[in-house]
Structures are given as C-alpha cells and as structure tokens.
Homo-oligomer: A and B are copies of this chain.
Amino acid sequence: MIDKAACVLSVDAMGGDDAPAMVIDGLALSVIRHPKVRYLLHGDEARIVGLLEKHVALKAASRIRHTPDAVAMDDKPSHALRGGRDRGRTTSMWQAIASVKSGEAQATISAGNTGVLMAMSKLQLKTMKGIERPAIAALWPTVRGETVVLDVGANVGLDERQLVDFAVLGEAYARVILGIDRPSVALLNIGAEEVKGTEAVKAAAADIRESGIDMNFEGFVEGVDISLGKVDVVVTDGYTGNVALKTAEGTAKLIAHYLSSAIRRSWTAQLGYVLASGAFRTLRERMDPRHVNGGVFLGLNGIVVKSHGGTDALGFAAAVDLAIDLAGSDIQNKIASRVGEIKKHRPMTPLERLEAESREAIAP
C-alpha cells in the first residue's frame, strides 16, 4: 500500500473541453490539499510550461512529458487507435495511461473522450483476471450519503455474468471509497418482484444468490431507490445507468428552474430568498455536480479516473481527489481477492475456460 500523500498521479493534460488550462488550474487546487503528491503531466510542453508559470507549488510538484498529439473529444475509439501504427501512442491520453502500466504512476486521470479513454485503458492495462469487461462507476449523492452506481456508460447490453462481475467490482469499490464493511448491493430493476425485468437482470440475481458468495445482496431496487440511498451499490448495464444518471441531472436542472421562477414572482419571496441565501448556497453546493465529479474505471489492472469533459477547475480537482484517494488505497488487491472468491464459487463455463486458456497462451 502506497502512502496516499506521496503518490504519483499521471495526468492527461490535454483532455477536456477547456484543456489544458482547466486541467492545470484544477491541479493547482489539488496541490494545496495534497502537498506531497507528484504529478506527471502529459501534453503540449510549451503550453503547459506557460500555464505553470503562475502556479509555483504545482510547478515544483510536476514533471512534464511532451506529447505531440491529443485525442479529440469527438474522436471515435476505433479512429483514435487506427491509422498509422503509432497514431494513438503519440497522444497525451495514451502516454498518461502508459505511466500507470509502467508503474511510474499509481493512477491516471483524464477529462478527455470517454470511449477512447476506455479503449486505450483496456488495450494497455488489460482487464483483471476473471473480469470480462471494465465498468464505469459513479458516486451518486443520496439522502443517506453516497451510493456507488455502475455501469454508467461503458457497456451497452450485458449478460448475467457481467452483471455479477459488476456487483463484485462495485462492492469492493464501496468498501474502499465509502469505508463500509459489508456494503449492501442490489440490481436496478423496474419492480421489486422477481417476475419483472430483463432476463439478464433476473438471471444475475439468481446467480448471486446461488453462488454462495458472502455478499450483502438485497435483490432488486427501483430507480427511486438510488437517490433515497436504499443500498450502497446499485448495479446495472451502461445504457440504463447512463440514462438514469443523466435523467437525474435533468431533473435537478428542472427543479432549479422551478425554484428560481417561483422566487422571482413576488417581492416578499425575493426578500425571503435574501434572508435564506445561506440555505440556498448550501442547497446549490449540494446539488452542484462538480463535487461528485469523477467516474472510476473498475476491473482494469490499474486505476483510471475519468473527469467530466465539460467541467471546470473545481470539478477537475474533485476528480483528482478521488484519483489520489484510490492511488493510496489497496483497491486493486481488494477487488482481485473478491473476484477470486466469487470465481471460486462459480465454476467456469466451457467458453470461459476457452477464453482463459487463450488469454494465457497469448500472454507475454
């Protein structure tokens, strides 16, 4: 276990709508909170050097690795990886991940293109033994605190085995990041009854129950239960999880709109608003998506944190905090041991055995 305060964080300085300026400003906030962390900045050296001029502490804590290219926000994963043998490898994103692979850094962060980041992470870091696909996990604010929700966008269409894998990944993540001993886990469904839902969701619930794994599994929850914090980990596929996450964002915007138009209606309401401005500030802060910025790629041999592309320095710094928390934790070992445990309980299917054998055959 690495000292959290003294880890090395590899940064894709060119990822995000307002990169690299937003990235450098975000790191400048982070360095105040984590003075011992060292940053490896991958990107356009000339621009980064210029931006670091006004941040003395960050400059001292950083090393720059020049890369000539950057992944565009609208690049397709296939496009960014194809076209010229070394095309992808000359980008800041590829090199930021490479620093984790080489062991030089304990985690990497990027606010760049999600699809390309996932593809490059899979190519370089590979999925952990026993895990078929990585997931993106988000921390969702709830009435009770925070809940881990996964997958929120990496995988469209999952079978039951992948959902079971995600339950294991999410549970291990909740242990580390929420500090809960036996996190409660549930599958997202459209009713608490066993008869409803997709075949994959129903089969995954049966698999977890029959696997004999020691997990605080509570069956199904509905969409309303996420924000109510009914369980610590909510498992779903990337399509549904992404729709849920963005629907919640839209609902928060709608209510903010209602609130501001209701208050503008009368002068007593406006006066009341002034008197209650502290309360509204608190409300705004709690509703501010920047504070819960940062999706973690779970199931890879290395820690990759994805910041929202459209965030600002404050939001990026929140994602950096998350990456540093994870870099200083033993999350990878915890996940690996939990994955090993559940795989022990569940015999391999013939296809899984074949895949495992071919993986071993081509391993370097």
A252 touches B253 (CB 8 A): no
A242 interface residue per 8 A CB criterion: yes
A142 at the interface (CB under 8 A from B): yes
A190 contact set on B, CB distance < 8 A:
153, 156, 238-239, 242-243, 246
Contact flags (1/0) for A271-301 with B, using CB distance below 8 Å?
1111111111011001100000000000000
User: Which residues of chain B are within 8 angstroms of A240 by Cβ–Cβ distance?
Assistant: 239-240, 243
List B contacts of A274 (CB < 8 A).
Answer: 272
Q: Secondary structure of the A side of the interface? A: helix
User: Nearest CB to that of A266 among chain B residues?
Assistant: B278
Of B76, B142, B193, the residue contacting A254 (CB under 8 A) is B142
27 A-B pairs with CB atoms under 8 Å apart are: A143-B257, A156-B190, A156-B196, A157-B198, A157-B199, A188-B243, A223-B243, A223-B248, A224-B249, A227-B247, A227-B250, A236-B243, A244-B247, A252-B255, A255-B287, A258-B283, A262-B282, A263-B279, A266-B279, A268-B275, A268-B276, A268-B278, A271-B272, A271-B276, A272-B272, A272-B273, A272-B275
Closest residue of chain B to A270, judged by CB? Answer: B276
Interface presence of A226 (CB below 8 A)? yes
A361 within 8 A of B: no
Question: How far in angstroms is the closest Cβ of chain B from A228?
Answer: 6
Please, which residues of chain B bring their CB within 8 A of the CB of A157? 198-199
Bound-complex Cα distance A225 to B143 (A): 24
Return chain B residues, CB-CB under 8 Å to A276: 263, 268-273, 276
The tally of residues in A whose CB lies under 8 Å from a CB in B reads 65
CB closest residue in chain B, given A282: B262
Which B residues are CB-close (under 8 A) to A246? 190, 222-224
Q: How far is the CA of A141 from the CA of B257 in the complex (A)?
A: 12
Kindly report how many copies of this chain are found in the complex they form together. Answer: 2
Q: By CB atoms of chain B within 10 A, which of A74, A157, A268 has the most? A: A268
Whether B227 lies near A251 (C-beta < 8 A) is yes
Question: Given the complex of chains A and B, what is the CA–CA distance between A223 and B224 in angstroms?
Answer: 15
Please measure, in the bound complex, the distance between the C-alpha atom of A143 and the C-alpha atom of B256, giving whole angstroms: 10
Given the known A-B contacts A190-B153, A262-B280, are A223 and B198 also in contact in the complex, defined by CB atoms under 8 Å?
no
Judge whether B282 and A275 touch: CB under 8 Å.
no
Pairwise interchain contact B242-A226, C-beta atoms closer than 8 A? no
